[in-house]
Amino acid sequence: MAEQPSKSSPLTELCSALPSLPMRLQEVGRFVAANDYDATTRSMRELASVAGADPASFTRLAKAIGYSGWDELRAALTEARRPAQASPFSARARKRQGPNADVSLVADRLAAEAIGLARISADAVAEAARALHGARRIWIAGFRSCRSVAELLNYELRLFRPDDVQLVGGSGPEDLDFGAFRSGDAVVVIGFAPYSTASVESTRAALKAHACLIAIADSVTAPMAEGADHLLLYEAASSPGFFPSLTGAIAIAQSLAAVAFSLGAANARKRLEATEARLAAMSQYVTEKG
């Protein structure tokens, strides 16, 4: 039996279709082809602003090349960028040789992290922070390696909103917290491939409760991205090394806390000052000797 030809990549489909498209869609198509990473991580409005195009033209482009809409084309572009992995982490490891291989690995990783940070959408993070500010309560879900990001965001937010912020699974089984999600709450779910079962369950519980879902994820096709009110994307898999990068997720978490504090104005400052005073009274920090 003859081997079936593999499906062409979305970029190949796009480039092949360009000559047959109207001139304006050709311009948008060339922009997407030249900025395929941005196309997978930035909103349609942001892309249109940079490209000098109407946001609706991205939907028309997707339909012109056989997709149901921009979301489907963007998902295809994202999947095409995803590296094939035989196992979650060990397949990422690459043997390096030479006297400066270790230094080169560090330099390559730092360079990749800098590029990834520059691609995070500041507009999307600020919009999500406004949702956190307006939420009655904030729940933060991060498991396994993403637990550290969740704990950092929980810690920073509780410095000025101690009564309103809860780490999912922080004081018992996470399913008990799922039952406490309510409309008017915000639920932040953090994850990257391979996704933990608990993060997917957190997402489903947030959607069922009609809470505001904020997903910090590595892909538009991530389970926590489906149905999210706010999707904050970071690049986890492009940096060298056996383990995906959490640098972008940490930067997003800290930015969310910083903007939420700023929006809290005088009341947030008052709560933070009270927290600092309590920590000082409990001698939580070493006093520098003069």
β-strand partners of 165: 138
What six digits make up the tokens of 126?
């600020």
User: Residue 208: which pLDDT band, with cuts at 50, 70 and 90?
Assistant: very high
Local structure of 231: helix, strand or coil: strand
> pTM of whole model > 0.85?
no
pLDDT at residue 96, rounded to an integer: 66
Q: Chain-centre distance of CA 251, in angstroms?
A: 10
For the stretch 89-127, pLDDT in tens is 656 656 666 777 778 778 888 888 888 888 899 999 999
Q: How far apart are CA 219 and CA 110, in angstroms?
A: 21
- 8 pLDDT higher than 70: no
CA angle 43, 49, 52 (to 5 degrees): 135
pLDDT, mean over the chain = 86
Q: How far apart are CA 177 and CA 15, in angstroms?
A: 48
Q: How far apart are CA 45 and CA 233, in angstroms?
A: 15
Q: How many other CB atoms sit within 10 Å of the CB of residue 62?
A: 23
pLDDT at residue 92, rounded to an integer: 61
Local structure of 217: helix, strand or coil: strand
Residue 135 and residue 186 in contact, taking contact as beta carbons nearer than 8 Å: yes
pLDDT at residue 129, rounded to an integer: 96
For the stretch 264-274, pLDDT in tens is 999 989 998 98
Contacts of residue 86, defined as CB under 8 A and 6 or more positions apart, other chains included, come to: none
Contacts of residue 132, defined as CB under 8 A and 6 or more positions apart, other chains included, come to: 138, 157, 186, 188, 214, 256, 260
User: Residue 86: which pLDDT band, with cuts at 50, 70 and 90?
Assistant: very low
For residue 201, give the H/E element and its range.
Answer: helix 197-208
User: Residue 6: which pLDDT band, with cuts at 50, 70 and 90?
Assistant: very low
- Least confident range from 6-15, 107-116, 148-157, 182-191: namely 6-15
Residue 131 and residue 230 in contact, taking contact as beta carbons nearer than 8 Å: yes
